[in-house]
Structures are given as C-alpha cells and as structure tokens.
Structure 1
C-alpha cells in the first residue's frame, strides 16, 4: 500500500527547510529518474525529443536533456521559452555543452518526453499546447510524462486534452490526479522518482492510499476442524432480476462463504445445486446482500425486524441506492458496505439528502465526493466503482488501480458484491472485506486468459478458484 497526496508542494518545502535539500538538488534527482528509465528502454532507441515548458516542469526536462546529451540525439523544443529561474539556469548549463534548443519540433523520434506543464495546471491548455500535445500523441514513439501528463488538471481531468504517456515518472510521491478515472487512459505505467531521500522521509501523513496486488489477503482456511458453519452464512435478497442474485451468490460461495441462501418469495428455477433458497431469513445468517437486480421493491418486515434490530453485516448495492429505507440502514447499522457505480452514487447522494449532483460532476472529482460521503456516513464503507475503484471509510480513501476492460461487462458488479459480501459473512471487518473484495475482483480480471472482450461474469467467478495461487 502506497501513500497518495493531492500535491507535493508542502513535501518539497519540507525538504528545503528541514533537510537543506535545495530545489536544484531535487530537480537533479527528478531528471536522473527519467534518465534511468530511458537508458533501460530498447537499446535501439537513439533520438529523444524533449518538449519542455517555461516553468520548473520544463526545467526537469532541460536537465534531462543535459544528462542524455552525448549518448543520444537530443531535440529539445521550448514552445514557450524558459521563464522560471530554474528553467533559465538549466538551459544555461545545457548550453555550456553546446546543445541548443531546436527551432521547430521534429515530426518523429524514438522517445518523446513531455515536460511541458505537469502538475498544477490551473487553466485549459491554449492553442499552442493543444497543437503540440496533439502532434506528440500522433507520434509512434515511447512516450514519457514528467510528473503528470500535460493537460491533466489537479483533479485528474483532461483540460481539454492530455498527453498520452506509456510511462509517467512522477516526482517524489503519487498524486491523486494520476488516479481519477479520466486520467487512466493517459498515465500508462506510473513510476515514482526518488528526489534524494527515502520516500519514508519525504512523505508525511495522508488520508489517501494506493492498493497493490500484495495487499490482497485471500480467505485461506487454516483450521483442520472447520465446517461450513465456520465460514458464515450469506443471504442474498433476490428481486425481479434473479440472475443478478445468482451471480452474487455464486461468487460468494466460490470465495469461501460456508453457505449461501437466496431469499425470494417465489421459487427460482434452474438454481445451481450449491445455492440454497428460502422465503424467510434463516436464523444462522451472518451477513445479508441486497439490491442487485432487486428493483425498487423491498421487504420492510425484513428491514424492521431483523436488519435494524440485530445489526447484521450488510452489503447494499444497485437498486438499494433508490430506496428511502437506505437512510435508516446507514444511520443505524454499524457493519454496512454500499457499492454504487457513479450513476447509482448520484442517486444515493440525492436519496440521502447530501447533494443533487450529476454523474459528470462526480467523475470530475471522485476523490472529493467519496470523501464527502465518508464524512457524512463515517461508519459506512463506500465502494465507488470505476476504472480506479475507490474505497472510502472514516475519511480515508483507498484506490484500487488494477481494474481492466475485462470488467466492462454486465454482471461484473454482481460478482463484486458477492466477493465482498462473502468476506462479510466470513467475519471480515467491513473495511477489510471491501479492500480484499475489490482486489479479488480486479485480480480475477487480470488473470483471465481470453480476449478482453470475451469475459462474462461466470468467467470471473471461475477465476476466483485460482486467487492466491503462485
């Protein structure tokens, strides 16, 4: 798990004040990190085009040109000149080597480095920048972004377009702008550059964290005397679209729940033999999942007599975001997870009276809206689904960046609900259930061997059996 920050300005200032590491020293290390990455690329790559802006992001690029000059053919293009003190200083140093910026940008190179604006973009790109980025994106080259791809604003949105990198070498620490859904097509692989001191010393307190594959903790069984009751009894409320409940229940059973029962007042035909069904809530229930395929009908007796009174661990998905009863559930149940996609989250915010906001607004600031929900309902764990799924709890936000297009399929969300609810039933705390369930979901997608357009929800469920295998 790695730390994430909205920006690194305060972290840099601390380096200046506490460690006497000057701006120049940090910049040298930033350039060296990009240099190392370039030198480890294809040895046939020779021509490096560096497009540098007028400020300190550009100064990083100019310093990189100096480090590579002599071993590579360097084209340094400065569409705005060098304006900041460090940009002018780095350009003066480069000229001592006899290397001058080019007057016009080459049409092709082996490696392209975007050091135009990076972090802190506060206004839309002008026509010059748009033209430059558009030309760079059209080149067949390995593309590297310095700190943050130019055009990505501090919230992680193209403004209005952005450089499409194969690799982003971000300076000092990870930034939230790199992990908004809208930024994902532009960042490529993200590498953190050490700026002259350990990240443990550079980084400070944060409420934002990046999940990694190594954070996944599968529910392996270690007790040789265990039985099905040891691993919990999940009840899935089945509504009008019963297939969603079947997918949820099947995923939960495959992920280790000891018993899964579908609750429905009508008989479900062709139910998998391993899934039970009942018209009443079993006494042995250890967690409940509801909302997937449910429609807007709900059983007030179940809510009033069982869930609210007994505080049963609860996963609320999909249609539950539309039901007014979700408000007392979130206010009174202490072990609750809610799993909306952005459109459902928009509805949920309105249902709860938090705000009336559309999907586009949410997607422009996913971190902000997830945090706001968590502040209003700190005891509820939010899983805000997306290309980079967010898990929010008590003001902390965790990002799962491992999702792939394999998950862009009907039923994928029902499988996620089953994974998370299975862990709830097995006794995981809600936050741990959410973190491990979302990681399992994305790892199933990554492990899928077929064409990425061909996966079904059933394929994801089959992949569960291999999780945690070496």
Structure 2
C-alpha cells in the first residue's frame, strides 16, 4: 500500500521547521523533478510551452522554464502576474537567463500545466474555463505539476479541467488525484522528492492506495484437503435468479469449496451449483441482494436479521430499510458493496443523510470515511472508476478498475468473489481488498474489445490471474 494525503501543506511546513529546508529549495527540487522527466522522455530542441499562474504552482513552472532553457525551445506564458515574493524572484531569474515570455497561447511539443495546482477553488469563472478548453485543444504532450488545473482539493471541477498525459506530484500523492473525474485527466503519475525521502516526508495512517502486491490470491498449497476446507457460500436468490447465479459461479471460480443457491422456488441453474430452500447449516457466509427483489427480501428477512454468519450485502437489499435493522442489530461481520445510487439509500437509511448521486460521487472519500467511523466493524466498498474501501475510519483506494467493468452483472460477480474469500477465512478487510484487486486485474487482462467484456468473461479471466 502507498500512503496518500488529504493535503501536503503541513508536510511542507515540517520540512521548513524540522529539516531547515527553505521554500526556495523545495521549489527548485519540484522544478528539477519535472525537468528530469522531460529530459528523459524528449530529445533536446523540442518546443516547451510552460503555462504558469500567479501562485507557487506557477512559480514551480517558472523554475522548469529556467532549468530547461538553452537545451529546449522554451516559451513561458503567464495567466496572471506572480503574486508572492518568491514567485517574483523566480520570474526575475527566468528572464535573466533569457526565457522568452509569450502573451498568447501557443502549441508546442510539450505543454507544462503550472496554472493553479492543488489550491484551486471552485467554482471557476467562465474566463478560466475558456482557458482550460483552449489548452485542451493544443496538441502537445501535457504535463501537470502536482495536479491538472481545474481540479480542486477533492478532485472535482466546474465542468472543465486540463486533460494531461502525465502528472508530476510533489512530495506525496493527494486524495484529489483519485476522484472519478480525475481518472481521465491525470494520465500517468509519478512522485518527486522535495529534498527528503518519502518515508521522512510523511506517513499517512488514514488514506492508502492499493498496489499489485496487496492482492492475495486463494492459492491451494496444501495437498491433504477437501472441499469443506474452502468454505460453503450460501447465496440468496430472488426475483432475478441470473444475478445470484453469476455470483455463485464467480464464488466457485474464486476458490470456494461449496456453493448453494438458496431460493424459495426451484431454479434452473448450472448443475455444479447446489440448491436449497434454507441456508445450509455448514455455510460460512451469506451473500445477498443481487436480484433479490422486495419479495425475496421479505422472505429472507428473519435469516438476515438472526444469522450470526458474515453477510455480504449488495444491490436490492441496500435500497431497503432492512439495512438499518441489520446495521444496528448486528453491525459486525458485514461487507456492503453499493454503487453511488445504492449508497444514497444507505446514507439516508443508516445515517439520516439526504444527498444526491452527483454529490456522493463528488464526496466519495468523505462519505465512506463517515460511514466507516459510525460502523467501524463493517467494511464498505463503494464502486466507481476508482473503488473506495472503508473500515474504521481508514480508506483504501483501488485505482486499477477499467471501463470494461461498466456492464450489468460485474457487481454480481464481485459479490460472489467476496463471499468466496470470506468462506476461505480471509478477514473482512483483506477479503474486500483482494476481491477488488482481482476483479480489477481480471478486467484489465481481457484481450478482446472493451465493449465485448461480459460477466461470464470476467469469471473466466479469474483463472488467468
């Protein structure tokens, strides 16, 4: 896992106070990080247009212009005059070496976005939005310093932001880089040190991004075992049995030893899945909600409220008021997997928060954190372009999901995978992390066209992880 932060201003202040590094030194190091990236990727002589604003992010850009001048054809565009004393000094230095200032946007081989940075405030005015639109029409390779201009501290915009190919982050990654909107704007990301190592710079205890090494697949290494050693997953089936069938097939393909579809009526399902009217006594986990419907929820209400087994709750059940009873009667051993619309219902029912889907998307980390602090022993998995996992006030972000997963049934598959790992004795948090990563990597590994990816193909890809 990698530490990320809500903001890094206080971390920068720590460098000044504890390690005697000046703001000028940090600015030079920031500029050097961007300049080194350009030197490695582009040959000398290429045209570089640096777009700088009036603040310290703009000053970082001015440093880059000065450092690259002479080896590259550097042009400096200022959206506003430098405000701080240090920014004005950087401008004085750049002009002294001969950097050419321009007064209209020009295209180049490389465009460096140093207009606003992480301190950008919404809403943006029309003039600023127009500038972003004009920049996006430029053909050059776009590099953002710290964050693409137009995104605020939560990674949201006023409808326009600079779309970059690469983002060079100063010191440490920030949460703003991992909003759904930011995913299509940041390009590739790298972090540059500001004068001390990442370990010294800061150690977050609350926010993390997941890495490939966090995936723990349920490999079978012990030979003397039987199906019971890998757990029995009970999946409640309702009005739309296709959803629960997908979950059961996913569970089976992700290592569970036994799978039973629990239904009030007999279903025509694949022969490898067992059926029962009641939850089998040797079940290790109950997975519920996928296609369950109101009748199914009512039918299984007593089971859901009285069972001591871990529950994986998805889809229909998250819209029902029973979720409040479950959370308050048995808040432990729960994993909830809502998409934003379902999370709207959960927040209203469980926490009395009335909110729109669009606001949930804009405030994903904040709201998952609040839920996980109220229900610290449950795990919440909020679906999206970047998946947000919360438990006990800590946030884990899976950035590996792809657009292939934007198809009905993908969530049903995930619910079954989660059930499989719970049955195989993973902790609730480890279950959710590994199921999320496996789900993401399976979607990435698909070799066909993105539009042709289906839930069954997703299940098949699990065997290739």
TM-score range for the pair, normalised by the shorter chain length: over 0.9
The answer as to whether partners of 2:50 and 2:65 remain within 8 angstroms in 1 is yes
Structure 2: gaps spanning 5 or more residues: none
Q: How many pairs align? A: 464
- The 3-state SS of whatever aligns with 1:288 is strand
- The 3-state SS of whatever aligns with 1:226 is coil
**What residue is the counterpart of 2:241 in the other structure?**
242
The answer as to whether partners of 2:47 and 2:110 remain within 8 angstroms in 1 is yes
1:51 aligns with 2:16: no
The answer as to whether partners of 2:388 and 2:397 remain within 8 angstroms in 1 is yes
The alignment's TM-score, normalised by the length of structure 2, stands at 0.97
CA shift for structure 1 position 45: 7.1
The answer as to whether partners of 1:321 and 1:351 remain within 8 angstroms in 2 is no
Deviation track 1:55-105 (CA, whole Å, cap 9, x = no partner) reads 100000000011111111001100212222221111111122122311222
- The 3-state SS of whatever aligns with 1:5 is coil
- The 3-state SS of whatever aligns with 2:265 is coil
Match of 2:380 among 382, 396, 402: 382
The answer as to whether partners of 1:335 and 1:429 remain within 8 angstroms in 2 is no
1:2 aligns with 2:17: no
**What residue is the counterpart of 2:411 in the other structure?**
413
Aligned ranges 1:200-219 → 2 under 5 Å: 200-219=199-218
**What residue is the counterpart of 1:446 in the other structure?**
444
The answer as to whether partners of 1:447 and 1:463 remain within 8 angstroms in 2 is yes
Deviation track 1:266-319 (CA, whole Å, cap 9, x = no partner) reads 1111x2222111111111100010001111234567553x55444201100011
- The 3-state SS of whatever aligns with 1:352 is helix
Q: 1:356 to 1:127 in 2, by over 3 A?
A: closer
Deviation track 1:384-406 (CA, whole Å, cap 9, x = no partner) reads 00000100000001111111110
**What residue is the counterpart of 1:323 in the other structure?**
320
Aligned equivalents of 2:78, 2:7: Cα separation in 1: 25
The answer as to whether partners of 1:5 and 1:206 remain within 8 angstroms in 2 is no
1:311 aligns with 2:292: no
Q: CA RMSD in A?
A: 1.5
**What residue is the counterpart of 2:92 in the other structure?**
92
The answer as to whether partners of 1:296 and 1:322 remain within 8 angstroms in 2 is no
Q: 1:71 to 1:45 in 2, by over 3 A?
A: closer
Aligned equivalents of 1:313, 1:141: Cα separation in 2: 52
Aligned equivalents of 1:216, 1:204: Cα separation in 2: 22
Q: 1:297 to 1:353 in 2, by over 3 A?
A: farther
Aligned equivalents of 1:38, 1:210: Cα separation in 2: 26
**What residue is the counterpart of 2:68 in the other structure?**
68
Aligned equivalents of 2:255, 2:442: Cα separation in 1: 15
The answer as to whether partners of 1:152 and 1:177 remain within 8 angstroms in 2 is yes
**What residue is the counterpart of 1:275 in the other structure?**
273
**What residue is the counterpart of 2:222 in the other structure?**
223
